[in-house]
Structure 1
Amino acid sequence: MASEITYAEVKFKNASPAAVVKVPPEKKKREHHPQKYPLWLPWLISLLLLLVCIALVTALLVAPFSHSGGQPTALQQNFMEWRCISELPQGKEQGWTCCPKGWKRFQKSCYFFSNDTMHGIESEQNCTGMGSHLVVINSEAEQEFLFNLAKGVFTKAYETKYYIGLTAYKNGQWQWVDQTPYKKAATFWKPGEPNLLFAEKCAAIHVKGNRDSSTYSNWNNVLCFTSCYRICELAVKFV
């Protein structure tokens, strides 16, 4: 007779459920990323940006120069714009000679012909404020150059007068504004001038309506409170 197997379910009252052991999660390992750039790189970038800014500012300051074949690197500036010519003085490397923009150049000087009138003292102050002085005429060549320019910018139908840097002091003694010695033989007074020295103590180039005039004797002494145009002179700048 085959044996019969019987299954029974037995429960134990005091049995405790299987203990659950909580295993703490494995700590994440710190990731070590390799450093992508050296610590000094941000400082280098900042320095380069600063140098770029300085270069831009310098370029803006020097941009007004007009030149051929290059650019001056240094110039004492009393003006916003200069015109420079490249030259090679004897015994020197390449240099520049410069005049303010709008001024006329002759030999080693730059000349400014005003388009407005002022009294004698105001005229000298205006020239001084530009780092120049009323023109001092030292030679016949300079007188001829100025006379021809004065005719070229002639503005009135009858006459135009330009103050120059010559003034009469006591006893009718004439003196150039830059203390150049006054030499009567090297002057260009109109016939009969100067006269009325007790009152007319300033000198001016006097251009009449005849532009075809070939005479260079055109200085005239005038009252210093007369409103005249003016010619300022500035030494050419070498850089």
Structure 2
Amino acid sequence: MNQQERVGPGTAAPAEGSSCSRLSPWVLLVSALAVKTALMTVGLVTHVSQSCDKPAALQGNHTELHCILAVHQSKGRDWKCCSEGWRPFQESCYYFSDDWMPWNESQQNCSGMGSQLVVINTEAEQAFLYKEMGRQFKHQRNGVILYIGLRAQKVGQWRWADQTPYNETAAFWRRGEPSDQPSDELCVVIHYQKDIFRNWNNVPCTIDSYRICETAAETI
């Protein structure tokens, strides 16, 4: 044994596993990175969850909007939003009134809100309205009537308020409707009752009824 290899009294011999002590900083670094990654993952999940509940563009001054996520095959995804008190569905917003008016006053009231009496184009739209009325009028045992934007200038000559041509295949009349007598029943209501999906009924335009207004949804 030479001088450099000699171990003096009271001096502990080097441990064979001294290389582990040199690795300990790396272990600490890896552990720290693992903790950081976990925290970032939690933050990402929280962000995604919040984004699903409310679009980022709606933070702050837009909290009064109600939105649904729309997915388009060519355009990707965006949000369709409606003002407080309006219900979103596809490209439109719908307002269900809590007061009664004749048809003309109902259309004027909708127009004053930048909308019109609802124009129903598809079975999916009818299904949405049926479901929403069930939610809003669930305590009405005898059913309710709500004006829609369909009326006739003469018996049988139906036309929508926005001049959309009447399509018989997308009409949802109650059994026995529309009636030709009396001849003054030229406006159409939805006569909502539970379990009756086909619920349109023609009535005189002067009766007071609830109404459904429709306007285009805001894209964000």
- DSSP 3-state at the match of 2:106: helix
Match of 1:122 in 2: 105
> CA contact under 8 A between 1:172 and 1:198: conserved in structure 2?
no
Q: What are the ranges of 5 or more consecutive residues in structure 1 without an aligned counterpart?
A: 1-66
- DSSP 3-state at the match of 1:199: coil
The alignment status of 1:230 with 2:211, answered yes or no, reads yes
Match of 1:191 in 2: 175
**Mapping of residues 19-168 of structure 1, within 5 Å:** 68-71=54-57, 81-84=64-67, 95-154=78-137, 155-168=139-152
Moved more, 83-92 or 143-152: 83-92
Task: Report which of the two has the higher share of helix.
Answer: 2
The alignment status of 1:169 with 2:150, answered yes or no, reads no
CA offset digits 1:25-65 (Å, max 9, x no partner): xxxxxxxxxxxxxxxxxxxxxxxxxxxxxxxxxxxxxxxxx
TM-score, structure 1 as length reference: 0.61
Residue type of the alignment partner of 1:229: Y
Structure 1 runs, 4 residues or longer, greater than 2 Å off: 80-97
Seen in structure 2, the aligned counterparts of structure 1 residues 123 and 70 have a Cα distance that, compared at 3 Å, is: same
Q: CA RMSD in A?
A: 2.7
Match of 2:191 in 1: 206
> CA contact under 8 A between 1:168 and 1:197: conserved in structure 2?
no
- DSSP 3-state at the match of 1:150: helix
Structure of higher CA gyration radius: 1
Seen in structure 2, the aligned counterparts of structure 1 residues 81 and 202 have a Cα distance that, compared at 3 Å, is: same
Identity of aligned residues (%): 47
Seen in structure 2, the aligned counterparts of structure 1 residues 90 and 123 have a Cα distance that, compared at 3 Å, is: same
- Rounded Cα–Cα distance in structure 2 between residues aligned with 1:159 and 1:88: 35
TM-score, structure 2 as length reference: 0.66
Seen in structure 2, the aligned counterparts of structure 1 residues 194 and 88 have a Cα distance that, compared at 3 Å, is: closer
> CA contact under 8 A between 2:91 and 2:216: conserved in structure 1?
yes
Residue type of the alignment partner of 2:125: E
- DSSP 3-state at the match of 1:170: coil
- Rounded Cα–Cα distance in structure 2 between residues aligned with 1:171 and 1:85: 39
> CA contact under 8 A between 2:66 and 2:87: conserved in structure 1?
no
Aligned length: 165
- DSSP 3-state at the match of 1:180: coil
Q: What are the ranges of 5 or more consecutive residues in structure 2 without an aligned counterpart?
A: 1-52
